[in-house]
Amino acid sequence: MPELVFFSGTMDCGKSTLALQIEHNRSARGLAGMIFTRDDRAGEGKLSSRLGLVTDAVEVEDGQDLYVYLVDHLSQGGRADYVIADEAQFLAPEQIDQLARVVDDLGLDVFAFGITTDFRSKLFPGSQRLVELADRIEVLQVEALCWCGARATHNARTIDGEMVVEGAQVVVGDVNQSAGEVGYEVLCRRHHRRRMTAASARAAALSPDVLPVPSS
Ligand SMILES: Nc1ncnc2c1ncn2[C@@H]1O[C@H](COP(=O)(O)OP(=O)(O)O)[C@@H](O)[C@H]1O
Ligand SMILES: Cc1cn([C@H]2C[C@H](O)[C@@H](COP(=O)(O)O)O2)c(=O)[nH]c1=O
């Protein structure tokens, strides 16, 4: 039975790498994938992993009907044996419904990859719809870690290493950004709740309040 599978995890946990591996294994067996993405850091029409792999993809536009796109592609003689959708958190809920229809009416597997929650730990609308509709949700096995060593479950947005909680839901960016740029850091829930990033934890550890007082 074809399935809609949602591979989810924090930023930087290997989602795009897995998408590229699925694509590689299937195309090595002569299957043809339709690869969708939206706002990948590598630029328009790209699906990229931090391991350096990249492939071409169809850049999804606002209001684009993904079911109709596939039907048009197939009826013009194109092939599609399965579908990959990376950065699926950026898709509109209607586009997730269209992907579910691709599974049910066209009989294709759809593998969607994305983060579930934003920097305020609120669901992205596309991810919410995936949680509602997916046949299966797979949490990635390679755990990203918080600076404290615990499993990272949340995504923080940072400016100069400090966590921010105001701003637009969508700001394309990366972990390990340079000074002054909007960046991201993955944290465990405890440290996300306390807004404690690696930089603020380091600063707190160096603060005179917590330095050991020499005994006289
Ligand atoms: N230099 C490296 N050596 C080994 N693994 C790396 C290296 N850089 C990144 N990675 C792996 O790649 C993962 C990020 O992969 P990526 O597919 O870009 O993540 P995502 O799509 O989830 O944001 C990291 O969690 C890490 O496991
Ligand atoms: C938390 C959060 C992330 N984003 C953006 C930042 C990146 O461009 C992508 C996630 O990419 P990855 O391949 O999973 O690393 O999402 C955002 O726009 N808003 C957020 O709150």
Task: Decide: 15 in ligand 1 pocket, CB within 6 A.
Answer: yes
Which residue from 10, 11, 13, 55 has its CB within 8 A of the most atoms of ligand 1, so it is best to mutate? 13
- Residue 44 tokens read as 């328009």
Residue 17 CA: which ligand is closest? 1
- 3-state DSSP call for residue 186? strand
- Residue 171 tokens read as 């700001």
Give the strands of the sheet with 4-8, arranged side by side: 58-59, 33-37, 82-85, 109-114, 4-8, 136-139
Query: Taking Cα atoms as reference points, which of 91, 21, 29, 28 lies closest to residue 59?
Result: 91
Taking only the tens place, the pLDDT of each residue in 94-147 is 999 999 999 999 999 999 999 999 999 999 999 999 999 999 999 998 889 999
**E strands in 120-187:** 136-139, 154-159, 162-164, 182-187
ipTM score here?
A: 0.98
Mean pLDDT of 42-53: 97
Whether 3 is catalytic:
no
Q: How many helices (H) and strands (E) does the chain have?
A: 6, 11
Taking only the tens place, the pLDDT of each residue in 140-195 is 988 899 999 999 999 999 999 999 999 999 999 999 888 888 999 999 999 999 99
> Domains, the chain, ranges and CATH?
1-142 (3.40.50.300), 143-204 (3.30.60)
